[in-house]
Amino acid sequence: MNNSTANICVASNVCVAITGASGSLYAMRLIEILLKNGCTVSVIISKAAQLVMATETEFKIPGQVRGQEEYLREHFGANEEQLKVYGREDWMSPWASGSGRKGAMVICPCSTGTLSAVATGASNNLIERAADVALKERRQLILVPRETPFSTLHLQNMLTLSQMGAVILPASPGFYRQPEKIEDLIDFVVARILNQLNIEHDLLPRWGE
């Protein structure tokens, strides 16, 4: 990967947490674009996410953190400075404390269980704790739920998180660009995430341009 020609990433330090909802392809595409833009990317993968990814994609994510890191670095052509994987109970991770390096966090896809845990401040694992830190430190937190229909409880949790400053960005691709393949639908959602992070991209043109 040639960072000398990469664009400047406004949110230069981004944590991408992948949980057990359907839609892990959104996360993989997001990581790819973040790295291409010169961002430092941290990744946290839940156990449920590993199962779902193996079910709906060709990605076979190893169970151990070191294996996950090697797998993702090889897949994306990234080095140890560009991509880091943290374990679900790595409480020494910089994302586990408000005194760690500042950065944005994206939970993509975000399961409704994770949504509930973050809304109630459960902090039972690093994904939940990192989200809690983002909220208390007033850092950027984007949650990408992929569920339908939403129950009243789901909606209440989303409202709670929105009131705390999080961005709720459902994985709901639009069709006004007349998508021709699945990758177009994935890019639509990823583009909206990148817009929130204020990162330039060419996945699809902005409205009116």
177 Cβ contact list (under 8 Å, min separation 6) = 184, 188, 204
Provide the pLDDT for residue 10. Answer: 59
Provide the pLDDT for residue 9. Answer: 53
83 Cβ contact list (under 8 Å, min separation 6) = 31, 35, 40, 41, 42, 43, 69, 72, 73, 76
Tokens of 205: 């043109």
Tokens of 101: 């390096």
Enumerate the domain spans of the chain. Answer: 14-196
d(CA 143, CA 158): 9
Provide the pLDDT for residue 125. Answer: 97
Tokens of 169: 């960005």
CATH classification of 14-196, choosing from 1.20.910.10, 1.10.1040.10, 3.40.50.300, 3.40.50.1950?
Answer: 3.40.50.1950
d(CA 13, CA 53): 24
In contact, 127 and 17? CB cutoff 8 Å: yes
In contact, 196 and 169? CB cutoff 8 Å: yes
Which H/E stretch holds residue 60? none
Provide the pLDDT for residue 140. Answer: 97
Instruction: Report the first-to-last Cα separation within the chain, whole angstroms.
Output: 30
Provide the pLDDT for residue 4. Answer: 38
* Residue for token pair 């999080």: 166
Amino acid at 53: M
d(CA 204, CA 184): 9
Provide the pLDDT for residue 205. Answer: 80
pTM value surpassing 0.85:
yes
Mean pLDDT by runs of 10 across the 209 residues of the chain is 45 94 97 96 97 94 95 97 97 96 96 98 97 97 97 98 98 93 97 95 82
